[in-house]
Amino acid sequence: MKFFLSLFCLLWSTGVMAQPNPVSWTFSAKKVGDKTFEVEMKAAIIPGWHLYSQQQPADAIAIPTEFSWNQNPLVQLKGKIREVGKMERYKDATLGVTAHQYSGLVSFVQTVELKAKVKTALSGTVEYQTCDDEKCLPPKKIPFTITLK
């Protein structure tokens, strides 16, 4: 009986302390030219939660979404990462701060060009923070690799 009670307490405490994962990411590439690709990093956000834009107002306390790329001598980044989704401009009346955020779905799109006609991969990490109306989770860093062929 003590074993089952201990097991129950362990499982209960683990469930209570476990934090939700409100964002799921998918990574893909679409060929749009001879050696040009659009790399898409898509975030699906569960209802009630939001993810922050890469660009935040000066008074924001939110941690912006940030992408870091690993070096690949065969790939050249073209321009900045575009955000495709409905940006919400949030204003917290209590704290007096603002934030640019997304709910539901948002895609981050980077145009890249291969320096030669070869199959290669683009890899990196995305660091992001999610919040609901009551709390924010600690920032997360997710590694990814996207095949370019």
Domain presence at residue 113 = yes
**89 has pLDDT over 80:** yes
6, part of any domain: no
**Could you tell me what percentage of the chain is helix, strand and coil, using 3-state DSSP and rounding each to the nearest 5?**
10, 50, 35
CATH code where residue 41 lies: 2.60.40
What is the length of the chain? 149
Proportion of the chain above pLDDT 90, given as a percent? 77
Joined tokens for residue 123: 């890899």
Domain assignment of residue 111, yes or no:
yes
What is the domain range of residue 61? 20-148
Q: Is residue 106 over pLDDT 50? A: yes
> Is residue 2, in this structure, part of any structural domain at all?
no
Q: Is the dihedral of CA 54, 72, 32, 115 positive or negative?
A: positive
Q: Is the pLDDT of residue 79 over 60?
A: yes
Is residue 42 situated within a structural domain?
yes
User: Based on the structure, what is the number of domains in the chain?
Assistant: 1
The whole model's pTM is what?
0.85
Token pair in block for residue 42: 């898509």
